[in-house]
Structure 1
Amino acid sequence: MGFTYDEVLEAYIKLKSYIYYDSSNLYMRQRLAIFETNLPNDLDIMVERGLFQKFATAYDVQFDPEEKLKLYEKKLRIFTEALNSHHKNPSYFNYYLSDISAKLLPKKIKDIHEHSKIITNKRTAEEYQIERSLVFIDAPIEIHLISVLWILKHGVDLDSKLSNNCFGNRLILNHERTAVVQGSGLFKPYQKQYQKWRDGSVDVARSHLESGNNVLMLNLDIKDFFHSVRIPAEKLNIPPFNINSKRDSLQAKNSLVAIFCRIHEQFTELIANDYKTPYDFGSEVMDEEGNVHHYILPIGLLSSFVLANDYLIDFDQRIAKKSKPVYYGRYVDDILMVIVNPIIPSEKSRDNIKALNFSFSEYRNKLEEMVYNDAYEHLAQDDYKELSDLEQIVLENFYPVLLLIDKPGFLKPNDTSHIKVTPKEERLFKLNDYDRLYCQSDKTLLYYFDKDESSLVIDKLKRDLEEKSSEFRNYEDAEDEQDFEESAYHLLYDGTEGKIRTLKDYKEDKFGLTVYLSKKIFNALRRADKLSDEDAEKVVRFFRGKNTLTLYSLWERVFVYLLVNNKATAYVKFYLSCVKSILALNPKSSVDIEMEDYQENVLEFLHISHELALSLDPTFLSRSKEADRLFTFSVNTFKTEHPYFEKVVLDPRDSDSFVERYRRSNLIRHHFAAQPLISYTNEYKTDKNFTEIKLDF
């Protein structure tokens, strides 16, 4: 006996629960809707149904009509048999492995005003060049299910070895730390873990300041972490059981590991060969024959969280032994450290024991020995006195765990003719003994607090963190509710606030926008008075050009915001504004992909956001003739500009629409429904508006 149906079902429940609460990877949500409704995205429905019957026959899975199984339950039974019989008949997983691809979204848009001294509100342009992209794995639910099963069988051992200093994506283990607890949960809640990680550093720093110690806080962020990981293939590829065993139970467990490794092998090969992002790293992970010997981590695969934490466990231990911080916290690839009475180069007196003093010349000699065989890396050539004060302090306090090297060529823009690069931007920190883990220069932050100076800054930081932590808990109609303008921007002053001549710059405030939209949505769900046309127009006008592209994670929330306030025309205008900006995207040299394909990935994310919003109220647009005509006409017009629109289903009540699929698979956003339990009734089969307060039974 290999895996039982109950084990597979438990893994599926945990996977669905994760996808349900996740708001970042909408592609997975779409895949889950396909899995549960049997309505494929691109394939003909008869092909998909024929495939289902083919695998049921191939693995001799029969269903008793009396059981009245749901579609996903039938699929899980086939999955269970296919996994247990993989060593005899691999056709099932070979098919789903061949369906692994990638989805790309813009992570950073080139700022055409970056080096200008002009402060401007212009965010639109004829073209938007992408500097960096976020690449998700796009795989069937059957592949994600293998990932969760691997976590339950093997990931637990890795997580149990982590220290309490590792906060991000920790499994919910039992008291003995031998298994994930029963139920739908898999990872500890993000909000609580993130808050503990962030607030812990401030609390410790504040406590030591009050005790009469100088305090240094260092924040590091690893660049392109998941795709910069290099996990030796043999580390994952060695089955934990005898591969020659004739027992089916052992063969099934070996098959799980083998399939899991093939997922990583195919994705690594795909990104290295077809996309070459974050740079052309093929020679680092494949031999001359094209065989993959090191894996990267697929973003969007749940097991990547566990492997990412395990990959940095040596770094965690080195920091504890060498630097001895009073606080060390890591949230996946985001690192916070606090040390007391640090060495400050401008203030230190040389120790009379020379061996205890940091020597930059000796450091450079050691660094030469460490990186001489790397064609990309070179030691920092500057003299110690020419380094920035931040670089000096980090070397004095954190070497040899952290190194300072010249920025490798592949991390520099291909076209630097228009960019003025300072020496500071030409260097970065590297995690010692990790091939490609570099800390982003612009995100390396260091704070130094002197015990004899005022502690008001750290006190205010603590209060600000507490206020932000409570923002999402206060959804009541509050008199302190901010205007949209106040929520949308950070104004950066160089001097007295409120004076035009001291305004240095401004930035869009994603957190403030999220809070504003959420409060407005929940207020609209509870009361009759709705948003004014003027306020709706402000939001639509804000989300144009670069703003809408960099804030794509808020698209769904904006759609819901306009829907619950009954602003159909503004809703369509927002959709069209997003489309126009997406069609101006140009990945150029940042990633090896055709512009049309890249645009399709982003258009798909937009349309998923749109259909998730409409799943709350399928007749929303059709109730406004003006909005419905504008939407239909515009989508038909866009068909001549991009082939993606040939696949768009205009009528949300169509059985092939994902609006219908999200309702049928119960994947709507229930926290945006006025009556959250409504989707558990027969009303989900109707066009009922789930955002209405009053229900007509």
Structure 2
Amino acid sequence: MAEKEKKYNLKSYIESAYKKLKSYSYYDNKNIFLKNRIVDFENNKKNNLETYTNFIENKFKSLEEFILNNKNIDFKFIHSWILKENDLQEQGTFTIRTVPKSIRSYDEEYYKIISNFEDNDSKAKVDKLMYYLDIDIMSQIIGTLWVMMIGKDLEEEYIDYVAGNLLEQDMDKNNLKLFKPYYLSYERWRDDAINIIENRLKNGNRSTMLSLDIKEYYYSINLDIEYYKKKIIKKYKIRKFLDNNISENDIEKLDEFKVFKYINDYVFNVIRAYSKAMNLRKINNERNGFRNILPIGFLPSSILSNLYLSDFDKSVNKILSPLYYKRYVDDILIVLNTDYKKQEKFKNEDILNKKFYENELFEIGVLVNNSLENNKTLSKINRKKEKDKTEIIVLNSIDNFMNFIKKIDRDDIELKKNILNILKKYIIRDKFENDEFKSWKKTNPIEKKCNIEEVEKNLKYINEKLIIKSSKFKKIYLLKEYIKNKESYLVIQDEKVRIYDFSSSGSKALIENFKKEIAKNSSVFKFLPQKDEVLNNFDSEVYKLEYKDSINKLSSISEFKINRYNLSKFLARIIYSDKLENADYINDVNEKISWIFEGKYAVEFFFLWNKVFNYYLMNNRYDLIKKIFCKIYKSIENLELELDEFTINIARFETTNKLKRKINLKLEDKSLFKLELLKLNLKIDLRSYLKFVLAMNYALDDNIFINDIKNSKISNKFNNNDIIKKLLGEMLGNKYEEIFNLDNLHDLKEYIRISNMLDHSLVKSPLMNYYYLSYKDCYPKELKTINVNFVNYIVSKPEILTNRSTCFFNNLNYENSIIKTKNNCKNNHICIKSKSCNMKIDSFTAKYNPRFVHMHECILNSIHSIIAEGKIINKGEEIKNAIKLFKILNTENKKYENENFHENYSNDVYSDINNILDSSKEHKLKQKFLETHFKYFDFDDYLFVAKERVINYLEYAKYEKKDKLKIGIINMKINNEDLESSFKKVPNIKSKRLEKISALLNTAVKNGAELIVFPEVSIPVEWLGAVADFARRHEVLIVCGLEHIIYDNKLCCNYIATILPDKYKDYTFAAIKLRLKNHYSPKEKEWVKGYGWELPKENESWKKEYDLFRWKGIDFSTFSCFELANIKDRALFTSFVDLLIGSVHNRDVNYYSNVMESLARDVHCYFVHVNDSVFGDNRIIQPSSTNNKNILQVSGGINDVVLVGEIDIKKLREFQIKNYNLQINDKSFKPVPPEYKHNNVKIRSNLPL
């Protein structure tokens, strides 16, 4: 029984590890190959909804048995260019993917012509490479299990010194968490250093910051596998001992220990197999085996790479006692106290030599380029023996120093002069001659004319003074203890070292600019993109002019290049803004992006291929997607490989005569053959990358190829895969016909959708992609081609899956179509009975969801579903339904059920509180309600006895209390054209309007607003998600009137939205509450009827309702325009609120002005009134004297603005709890009205009665 339980537990851990791996891959935008492997792993090729979960769980069971039976595995390396479709599904099979790390123009070194265009035929010359391990998913799962089981224990050894690749604190098997997000860790790493320096400057201190990075770190390691295996097993035993207080022998008997030992061995076997395939020799070209390095793309490497440098971390901190030391993998930031220098300036080498070299942390050495001829094409490279490559000479002995001297060429005059100048005091004068430069290598003047003993004795001094400016040599620093103890050269290039010196007596500009740039980049994705601003800044941000002299001189321009970071940032922002609007052709931007991805840039920016396709997809430019694809494909085929002369680590994949014959190359030189093989692999891997990126975009929108498939004359002979392949092949031309490989693109698109590994952020209707498997299962055969468009709302075409609120199978308007259609849906009889389709999120999609789904997404999905069913949203049903969906989609629900997880995320949502006390059906809800502060209220108050109205109570952010609140009121014009468009069911969601909304929201937050109020009918429902996400990110409360939503059953609904941000632990979420307008104005009713729509009518399922909110301890309610005219309704909340909000669109300003002034006095609360700026009288009013009542007031204006005012909640409440005799003497506010319930204010303030 115990053994079975262990097996079951292992399987659950395997399942959890896979989910974490999938989630990690979903968020990792660099390793496309792992995404591809995930998609393949979940593809069962049977296309049957029922088989997906069983299929993947059988794999987990197989892996469980594999581990428990201690099975050995023979790892098999396959070159990517001979890789077959199913090769990487076999456990232990792997390839190594090659991608460019850096590129320079093919003729850049010969021609210094500054040009504003790139030749279509310009070739990308790749000079640095990155290698990714691409291995079967079973092996990746084992690697993830290893991280889960031992990662936190190993992290203890380096956590004080490391900022990158750290594990989440609450990582466990019931959630998707693994590593902390890159951007958060990186920002903190950098910001902490800057903050220390800034604080010291304020205190009059001097600080120096060093930025160091280790060259080719992952490939420079020499991992002692046996040592680390034993170390990790020992660490595991110690943890087990501390947790269970059992002996070592008993630990070794545990099934869990046996499992971990197997997993630990497996991980290091993967590392050994990868290292053997890479075949990087040990230091000094030793032929006795290869170095064990760390594979990028394998999760244990993230832990081991940090652990490997932990000795260096500790040494630096022990010897130097820095003010700050943190490492982001191989990038190191150090802040030193340099008060001792006072005003004296120092050079780079002063710090490096004095602090690191003389303290035995570094050794000094040189990189030697042994190639006699540089900068030739691959076919013209001087053919040297395979042993010749970049060499490292550590200048830690006289022999090594003399070896370096011997390698200096006779024409390297400057270097020789520098060396002789350093050594002049050691030259024996009677042997001095003037011919020391003539035959340097033969006569070696250093060896013959210097006192070698003195040179050896002063070698440290000589190394410190050594300055190298040479094409053959580079001065480097090496981590000393790793040379001796680990036999690895960890190189820090002298030229890459950055030192920043900050003195309190100097200018503050450097630190201020640091901070400004950091703040600018940190906030760029927090605010809504203002599209005009993004577009206008394209040229200045993306294109970078380098000057060597005056900016006004053309002759001073030294370089014109593209800023890759700003290009990436631009694409991300423009894609996000396009997500929120309908397609507008932006020809200027289209042209600029198209130009950038010409020639060599098409390869250089390979990591942006996906974003470029995204951009064109959002704008429906399917023609440009195909065009850019062809440009990139051609650029891949035209690339050249000429590795940088100072590359230390070049993969030396195994080659055989059979391989040579397959490649059909007649290269006798072994090293040249291996370089040619690298180039071949590079092209193959970039093609695979490109194919998957195209498929990911195709998964978002069938329209990329839908017309090509429909119009194809060969559709009867070929399947969709062949049609697409033939189309793109013809676009490329005959030249590429033999090498073109785009098989199964249509199938790959389907597999991506099924695995849900497409980009969810681009799906316009929240969570629509989660319904795809169910949708596909129900889709009628007679409709033939499925057309899915996740990125745009397609109006009046319900057969296109695009939006939950117009879903073909969900919307009642199409129930007859569903019932009459004889399709293969197994639930057809249920659909007929319920008169609606039961298409739901299937269990497989929910269980293997790759990401954390936010609360506001679930609420929006719930809103769309309710609209699709033709129902009115009421009683907080959108939130209640969302809670259930949230728990289904997020694997954390099991863990948090015991922690009142439901309550924390829904907080308190009580519908119909004025009837809840009388209901026998709602006993549990009644009990919970009576645990709130409401139990102290008098239930005979008008709020509770007015049974004709439903009152909902919602509380959020309950653990934070605010005494004051800054309110931003949006003074904006509501265009009649926009109102008409919404009534026509074609809302205006174009960029110009979006630009206005984005700018207003951004401005409000920048000016400190904590509550933002928009007028009635100001926000299209299509943008509700973006506004809610903005509220979540900035933790700002938003109230806005939505444009009229026209249901497919002709119901016309006017909703007011209240968006309440809150936190649970470290997670920020937003609750969205919609409420239907209770009283449509006479004019509004005319519009509804005039366009042929229907007005909402009270019935059993819907009664008029109001909401009472509590947010951060502030009680408020909202009114939508004409509701304020109802004297009974506006009196509902007397003594129950601090604030009332009126979101209106009404030209009767005088009447409403009187209403709001009366309301503020009668209810005795603050009142916010936000109207169309054309009608005006937007203001924040308080129950004070005429001269003091307006905190803020604005009307009119041709430009939209935000004004921010502040209300004092604490001050108002302290006034209200007083009786009349004290209030009359306090001029802050007018006295409360008769029969005002002072005790209600005390209850809300948590004061004794």
Q: What TM-score, normalized to structure 1?
A: 0.80
User: In the alignment, is the contact (CA less than 8 A) between 2:15 and 2:60 conserved in 1?
Assistant: yes
Q: What is the CA–CA distance in structure 1 between the aligned matches of 2:298 and 2:73, rounded to whole Å?
A: 22
2: distance between equivalents of 1:90 and 1:15? Answer: 21
Q: Equivalents in 1 of 2:556, 2:367: separation in Å?
A: 37
**Which digits, 9 at most, give the CA deviation of each residue in 1:537-594, with x for residues without a partner?**
2201111222222211100000010111111222112111111111112225565352
Shift of 1:502: 3.7
Alpha-carbon distance, 1:429 to partner: 1.8
- The Cα of 1:91 is off from its aligned counterpart by 8.0
Q: Which has the higher strand share?
A: 2
Distance 1:337 1:347, change over 3 A: same
Q: After TM superposition, list the pairs within 5 Å mapping 1:196-275 onto structure 2.
A: 196-238=188-230, 249-272=256-279
Deviation at 1:116, TM superposition (A): 5.5
CA distance in 2, matches of 1:68, 1:529: 36
- Quote the residue 2:54 is aligned against: 70
Q: Pick one of 298, 307, 329 that aligns with 1:332.
A: 329
Deviation at residue 630 of structure 1 after TM alignment? 10
The question of whether the paired residues in 1 share the 8 Å contact of 2:163 and 2:186 is answered with yes
Task: Summarize the Cα distance change of 1:225–1:343 in structure 2 as closer, same or farther, 3 Å threshold.
Answer: farther
Could you tell which deviates more after superposition, 156-165 or 478-487? Answer: 478-487
What is the aligned partner in structure 2 of residue 428 from structure 1? 476
Please tell me whether the aligned partners of residues 75 and 270 of structure 2 are also in contact (alpha carbons under 8 angstroms): no
What is the match of residue 173 of structure 1?
A: 169
1:96·1:143 contact (CA, 8 Å) conserved in 2? no
How far residue 126 of structure 1 moved from its aligned partner, in angstroms, is 4.8
Q: Who is 1:687 aligned against?
A: 787
| Change in CA separation of 1:169 and 1:247 when aligned onto 2, cut-off 3 Å | closer
Alignment pair present for 1:403 and 2:362: yes
Q: Shift of residue 469 of structure 1?
A: 0.5
| Structure 1 residues 544 and 414: alpha-carbon distance in aligned structure 2, compared to 1, 3 A threshold | farther
Aligned equivalents of 1:160 and 1:258: distance in 2?
Answer: 21
Q: Note closer, same or farther for the CA distance 1:659–1:395 as it changes in structure 2 (3 Å cut).
A: same
Describe the superposition over 1:630-681 as per-residue Cα deviations: whole angstroms up to 9, x where unpaired: 984442556863755345335x2xxxx2111100111110001112300111
Aligned to 1:601: 685
Q: Deviations over 1:332-370 (max 9, x none)?
A: 11111111226769938xxxxxxxxxxxxxxxxxxxxxx
1: distance between equivalents of 2:711 and 2:193? 50
Among 180, 186, 189, the residue aligned to 2:178: 186
Q: Could you tell me which residue of structure 2 aligns to residue 306 of structure 1?
A: 303
1:503 counterpart letter in structure 2:
I
Per the alignment, residue 567 of structure 1 pairs with 621
Say if 2:118 and 2:595, in contact at 8 Å, map to a contact too. no
Alpha carbons 2:363, 2:479 under 8 Å: kept: no
Distance in structure 2 (CA, Å) of the matches to 1:74 and 1:626: 38
Shift in CA distance, 442/119, structure 1 to aligned 2, threshold 3 Å:
farther
- Structure 1 segment 72-87 matched on structure 2, within 5 A: 72-87=56-71
Q: Is 1:486–2:517 an aligned residue pair?
A: no
Structure 1 stretch displaced more, 396-405 or 413-422: 413-422
Q: Give the structure 2 partner of residue 100 of structure 1.
A: 94
Q: Who is 1:159 aligned against?
A: 155
Separation (CA, whole Å) in 2 of partners of 1:678 and 1:662: 15
Give the aligned partner of residue 55 of structure 1: none
Residue in 1 aligned with 2:136?
Answer: 140
After superposing the two structures, state which structure 1 stretch, 672-681 or 246-255, moved more: 246-255
Task: Output the CA distance in 2 between the equivalents of 1:284 and 1:676.
Answer: 57
Q: 1:589 to 1:500 in 2, by over 3 A?
A: closer
> What SS does the aligned partner of 2:702 have?
coil
Please state if 1:660 is matched with 2:750.
yes
Distance (whole Å) between structure 2 residues aligned to residue 187 and residue 195 of structure 1 = 15
Which amino acid is the alignment partner of residue 672 of structure 1?
L
CA distance in structure 1 between the aligned counterparts of 2:551 and 2:741, rounded to whole angstroms: 51
In structure 2, list runs of 5 or more residues that go unmatched: 78-88, 238-248, 377-410, 413-467, 483-487, 645-649, 651-673, 713-722, 777-785, 795-802, 808-1249
Specify the alignment match of 2:744 in structure 1: 649
* Counterpart residue type for residue 766 of structure 2: P
Partner AA of 1:324 in structure 2: S
Alpha-carbon deviation of 1:268? 0.3
Contact map agreement 2:117 2:595 (CA 8 A) in 1: no
SS of the residue 1:475 aligns to = coil
Q: Deviation of residue 115 (structure 1)?
A: 7.1
How many equivalent residue pairs?
Answer: 615
**Closer, same or farther: CA 615–145 of 1 in aligned 2, 3 Å:** same
Instruction: Using the TM superposition, give the Cα deviation of residue 509 of structure 1 relative to its aligned residue in structure 2, in angstroms.
Output: 1.3
Report the CA distance between 1:597 and its aligned residue: 2.6
| 237-246 vs 487-496, greater mean Cα deviation | 237-246
Partner of 2:347: 389
Question: Pairwise CA RMSD of aligned residues?
Answer: 3.6
TM-superposed CA distance for 1:212, in Å, is 1.3
Whether 2:628 is the aligned partner of 1:580: answer no
The one of 626, 631, 635 equivalent to 2:729 is 635
Q: Displacement of 1:407 after TM fit?
A: 2.5
- Give the distance between the partners of 2:349 and 2:110, measured in 1 at CA: 24
Distance, in Å, in 1 between the alignment partners of 2:111 and 2:508 is 36
The partner residue of 1:448 within 493, 501, 513 is 501
Which runs of structure 2 are paired with 1:34-49 in the superposition (5 Å)?
34-38=40-44
1:473 is aligned to 526
1:122 and 1:640, CA in 2 relative to 1: closer, same or farther beyond 3 A?
Answer: closer
Letter in 1 for 2:481: D
Q: Decide whether the 8 Å contact of 2:76 with 2:94 is kept in 1.
A: no
Structure with bigger gyration radius: 2
Q: For the structure 1 residues 693 and 401, does the alpha-carbon distance in structure 2 shift closer, same or farther, using more than 3 Å as the test?
A: farther
Q: Which residue of 2 aligns with 1:195?
A: 187
Name the counterpart of 2:703. 619
Aligned in 2, Cα 1:626/1:415: closer, same or farther, shift over 3 Å? Answer: farther
Q: 3-state SS of the aligned residue for 2:96?
A: strand
Letter in structure 2 aligned against 1:612: M
Q: What's the secondary structure of 2:210's corresponding residue?
A: strand
Superposition deviation, residue 246 in structure 1: 7.8
1:542 to 585, 596, 601: 596
Partner-residue secondary structure (3-state), 1:172: coil
Matched residue SS, 1:100: strand
The letter for the 2-side match of 1:664 is: I
How much does 1:624 deviate?
6.7
Structure 1 256/690 Cα, relative in aligned 2: closer, same or farther at 3 Å? same
**How many angstroms apart in 1 are the aligned matches of 2:122 and 2:759?**
35
**Does the CA-based 8 Å contact 1:664-1:684 persist in structure 2?**
no
* Alpha-carbon distance in 1 for matches of 2:336, 2:139: 43
* Equivalent residue, structure 1, for 2:33: 27
1:407 partner amino acid: V
Alignment partner, residue 674 of structure 1: 764
| Percent identical residues | 25
**TM-score normalised by the chain length of structure 2:** 0.46
If asked which structure has higher relative contact order (CA below 8 Å, sep 6+), I would say 1
Shift of the alpha carbon at 1:461? 1.2
1:335 aligned partner, one-letter code:
I
Q: Which residue number corresponds to residue 992 of structure 2?
A: none
